[in-house]
């Protein structure tokens, strides 16, 4: 299938190829092609981050992805043909790889990367190979690839305001049927709302959402069908599992039941968060945020834009476990999300009919930035100010972000310790938040994830000397958990020492001789030591958006710039590429 790629010296590889084609023979052909023709492979930090998102969801449908990634990494790392460009920014990545000679960009038609290229209208006059359900094709320029694979226009179903209704409404003790013929008995009503009611069923794994009359439009039903077809079965995504019918008419769907309470009930200031999670520290806040961003990126990889991101649309059970709910309103492919929350929506979209256009990934970037600030600041809105305008809407329009990079002006920051939260954030996150909400700059969602990951790593490794940096509300007189920096560092050093000892080579076994040793198959011989496979490691410590300080922007695995391979570092300071585990 990939014969046409064998002529290139380098392939710029998009992660979507791994995700979408890992369970087929064509991916083995791709690995063999890299191996047989000695082709160099170039990826960026987004490649790693997206793989971490996929692994974190533990969805059974992705069971081949980890094996495929492992095989690819073993092929490329052992021969030093994998090169990492240290950035999550699509434009910067393209600026670097466009200088490669005899190269080709390999992507898929529905990938995040290709959509970013389309949205940003980036110029790239190298060959582009696209895998799609229609097959495999190589284009001489990115512009021609986009022309043949344009971003979808909004579906005509969005303007169809008819309803798929019947007079009969399913209720307690009624039996509803799925498309596949499965029967579900509605047992108990759990909740109700403007759209419908949620019932427990006789299958403990699923609850059923039954819509009210005048709710199921052709758009909604088409969207439910597409969401079900994605095959996402991770319980933390409350997506449709079965489409339900009653007396031959569509009435709703089944989904897994989320656990916990909404984010808005937890991230609502000091009292709420400490009452719900009294032992939380800054690390728990970061873990929650990282998990949420990873889930939204996972949806992006499946052609889904959440659209209506807000604190009410997710449940939190623990810092590591959250559930995305109200998934029937999301945008999938060209079926739009018809709703939005103004406080979390880019102001440039205000006043528009949400059902009349397809939202871009950049539209979602703004909502992700809002989520980042709201979680880090325990529910506060970035434009919430003290002694400011009468309405939040005015503050948003005027970009009255009350924080400064040098902490020189705290007059308009709300009271309650929010100035200290800002003060103790790492510089990279403060700069990103300031440029977003004061200057209107946009950062890709994966860049936010990377920045939060770095912050979380710093908290885990206890790099800050001031113990206040680890509190939910630093320097404030709340009854909150604090840590002893010296004790934690001692524990980390002990684990590090134990890890170093574990990887020390064992001395070669001496061959023993016996004066009266019997002969035959029961005689045991000594087994000498052999060097085990040690994958070359990537350095994850550099900020994702920091250009390389060398003549070349490419960092071959295990090297810095164009230098010779460095000596193996201590395990505690280096992390192996996430594809090998």
Whether residues 384 and 459 share a domain: the answer is: yes
Cα-based distances in Å from 253 to 41, 157, 263: 44, 20, 24
Q: Where a domain ends, among 220, 239, 255?
A: 255
Task: Flag residues of the chain having pLDDT under 50.
Answer: 511-581
pLDDT of residue 188: 96
Task: List pLDDT tens digits, range 85-131.
Answer: 999 999 999 999 998 999 999 999 889 999 999 999 999 999 999 99
Whether residues 234 and 362 share a domain: the answer is: no
Whether residues 267 and 245 share a domain: the answer is: no
Q: Where a domain ends, among 148, 180, 195?
A: 148
pLDDT of residue 416: 87
> In whole angstroms, what is the distance from residue 330 CA to residue 309 CA?
9
Cα-based distances in Å from 94 to 43, 100, 266, 446: 11, 10, 40, 16
Whether residues 340 and 202 share a domain: the answer is: no
pLDDT of residue 232: 96
CA within 13 Å, CB half, 453: 22
Residue 115 lies in a domain: yes
Residue 218 lies in a domain: yes
Burial pattern 477-516, b for ≥16 Cβ within 10 A else e, equals eeebbebebeebeeeeeeeeeeeeeeeeeeeeeeeeeeee
Whether residues 167 and 238 share a domain: the answer is: yes
pLDDT of residue 81: 94
Whether residues 271 and 415 share a domain: the answer is: yes
pLDDT of residue 506: 60
pLDDT of residue 407: 87
pTM of the entire structure? 0.86
Whether residues 329 and 436 share a domain: the answer is: yes
Domain of 183, CATH number, reads 3.30.200.20
pLDDT of residue 280: 95
Q: Is 138 exposed, middle or buried (0-12, 13-18, 19+ CB in 10 A)?
A: middle
Q: Where a domain ends, among 209, 237, 255?
A: 255
pLDDT of residue 541: 40
Count of helices and strands (H, E) across the chain: 17, 20
Domain span at residue 202?
159-255
Whether residues 211 and 351 share a domain: the answer is: no
């Amino acid at each position: 299938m990939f014969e046409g790629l064998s002529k290139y010296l380098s392939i710029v590889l998009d992660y979507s190829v791994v995700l979408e084609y890992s369970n087929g023979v064509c991916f083995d052909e791709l690995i063999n092609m890299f191996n047989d023709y000695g082709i160099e492979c170039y990826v960026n930090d987004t490649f790693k981050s997206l793989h971490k998102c996929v692994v974190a969801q533990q969805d059974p449908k992705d069971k081949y992805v980890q094996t495929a990634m492992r095989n690819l990494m073993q092929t490329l790392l052992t021969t030093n043909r994998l090169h990492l460009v240290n950035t999550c920014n699509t434009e910067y990545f393209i600026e670097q790889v466009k200088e490669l000679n005899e190269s080709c960009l390999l992507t898929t038609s529905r990938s995040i990367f290709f959509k970013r290229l389309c949205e940003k209208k980036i110029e790239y006059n190298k060959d582009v190979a696209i895998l799609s359900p229609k097959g495999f094709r190589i284009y001489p320029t990115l512009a021609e690839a986009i022309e043949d694979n344009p971003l979808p226009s909004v579906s005509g179903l969005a303007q169809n305001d008819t309803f798929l209704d019947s007079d009969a409404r399913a209720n307690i003790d009624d039996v509803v049927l799925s498309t596949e013929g499965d029967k579900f008995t509605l047992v108990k009503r759990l909740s109700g709302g403007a759209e419908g009611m949620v019932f427990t069923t006789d299958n403990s794994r699923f609850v059923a959402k039954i819509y009210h009359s005048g709710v199921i439009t052709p758009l909604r039903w088409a969207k439910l069908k597409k969401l079900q077809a994605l095959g996402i079965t991770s319980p933390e995504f409350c997506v449709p599992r079965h489409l339900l019918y009653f007396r031959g008419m569509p009435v709703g769907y089944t989904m897994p039941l989320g656990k916990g309470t909404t984010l808005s009930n937890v991230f609502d200031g000091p009292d709420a968060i400490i009452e719900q999670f009294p032992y939380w520290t800054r690390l728990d806040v970061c873990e929650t945020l990282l998990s949420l961003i990873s889930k939204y990126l996972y949806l992006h990889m499946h052609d889904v834009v959440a659209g209506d991101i807000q604190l009410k649309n997710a449940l939190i059970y623990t810092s590591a476990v959250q559930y995305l709910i109200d998934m029937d309103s999301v945008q999938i492919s060209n079926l739009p999300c018809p709703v939005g929350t103004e406080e979390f929506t880019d102001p440039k979209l205000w006043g528009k009919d949400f059902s009349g256009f397809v939202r871009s990934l950049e539209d979602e970037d703004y909502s992700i930035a809002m989520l980042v600030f709201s979680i880090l600041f325990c529910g506060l809105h970035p434009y919430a100010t003290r002694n400011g305008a009468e309405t939040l809407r005015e503050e948003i329009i005027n970009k009255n972000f009350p924080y400064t990079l040098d902490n020189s002006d705290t007059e308009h920051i709300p009271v309650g310790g929010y100035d200290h939260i800002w003060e103790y954030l790492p510089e990279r996150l403060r700069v990103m938040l300031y440029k977003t909400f004061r200057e209107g700059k946009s950062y890709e969602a994966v860049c936010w994830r990377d920045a939060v990951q770095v912050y979380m790593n710093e908290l885990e490794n206890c790099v800050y000397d001031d113990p206040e940096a680890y509190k939910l509300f630093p320097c404030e007189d709340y009854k909150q958990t604090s840590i002893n920096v010296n004790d934690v560092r001692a524990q980390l050093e002990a684990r590090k020492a134990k890890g170093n000892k574990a990887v020390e080579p064992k001395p070669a076994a001496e061959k023993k001789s016996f004066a009266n040793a019997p002969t035959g198959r029961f005689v045991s011989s000594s087994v000498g030591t052999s060097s085990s496979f040690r994958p070359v490691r990537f350095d994850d410590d550099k900020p994702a958006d920091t250009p390389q300080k060398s003549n070349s922007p490419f960092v071959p695995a295990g090297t810095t710039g164009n230098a010779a391979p460095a000596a193996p570092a201590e395990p505690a300071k280096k992390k192996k590429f996430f594809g090998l585990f």
